[in-house]
């Protein structure tokens, strides 16, 4: 059992938090993981990406070859589009539909979303709306983690426990909002 994931987004969108939850849930599930360096965090608003590999056996490289990723998990649609060439033919892309316009020539969002939806399996959700419904727009990353959860080889309980461990120190309101964000994202991906 193995899974290769490309994480993508923009600096400040919570890519490191997603990576933390996936990494620690993998450990709780007895899996091995390797994560390549997170690139792009030096500047808020800059492009961010990282390769994550999960397995029940040895992992020899932390880099995912183009065409071999099981999932592209992106908090931003243009960043999802940027990494679609890493996706396997049967892979899934999970992304929010809200653009982060950090460049002056950001393409027309309808064209970006149309291109993302041409992926073999695309889950495009309104993470901004769901995060607001959960109680904080800052939880868009956790909404998308929840949306990705049905496609991950990780146990939902392990993911939820790690979300709890990450956000519990920030107080009950933040914890509750992030747990709700996860549940809303998961329900949206499952069509519930």
How does pLDDT run across 99-139, given as a tens digit for each residue? Answer: 887 778 888 999 999 999 999 899 999 999 999 999 999 99
- What is the tally of structural domains in the chain? 1
- pTM of this structure: 0.92
pLDDT bin (cut points 50, 70, 90) of residue 46 is low
User: Is the confidence at residue 45, as pLDDT, over 90?
Assistant: no
| Alpha helices, H only, 104-171 | 109-117, 127-134, 140-148, 156-167
CA nearest neighbour of 15 among 2, 28, 1, 5: 5
User: Is the confidence at residue 40, as pLDDT, over 60?
Assistant: no
Q: Output the six-digit token pair for 32.
A: 């091995």
Determine the structural domain holding residue 144 and report its residue range. Answer: 2-190
* Residue-level pLDDT at 59: 86
Question: Looking at residue 66, which CATH number applies to its domain?
Answer: 3.40.920.10
**Quick one: what percent of the chain has pLDDT higher than 70?**
93
């Amino acid at each position: 059992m193995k899974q290769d994931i490309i994480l993508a987004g923009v600096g400040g969108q919570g890519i490191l938090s997603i990576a933390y939850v996936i990494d620690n849930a993998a450990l709780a599930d007895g899996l091995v993981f390797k994560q390549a360096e997170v690139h792009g965090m030096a500047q808020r608003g800059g492009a961010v990406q990282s390769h994550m590999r999960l397995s029940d056996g040895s992992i020899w490289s932390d880099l995912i070859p183009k065409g071999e990723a099981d999932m592209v998990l992106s908090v931003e649609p243009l960043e999802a589009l940027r990494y679609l060439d890493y996706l396997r033919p049967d892979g899934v892309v999970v992304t929010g539909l809200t653009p982060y316009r950090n460049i002056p020539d950001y393409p027309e969002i309808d064209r970006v979303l149309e291109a993302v939806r041409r992926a073999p399996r695309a889950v495009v959700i309104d993470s901004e709306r769901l995060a607001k419904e959960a109680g904080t727009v800052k939880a868009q990353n956790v909404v998308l983690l929840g949306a990705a959860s049905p496609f991950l080889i990780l146990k939902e309980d392990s993911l939820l426990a790690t979300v709890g461990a990450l956000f519990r120190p920030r107080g009950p309101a933040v914890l509750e909002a992030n747990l709700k964000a996860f549940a809303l994202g998961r329900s949206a991906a499952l069509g519930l």
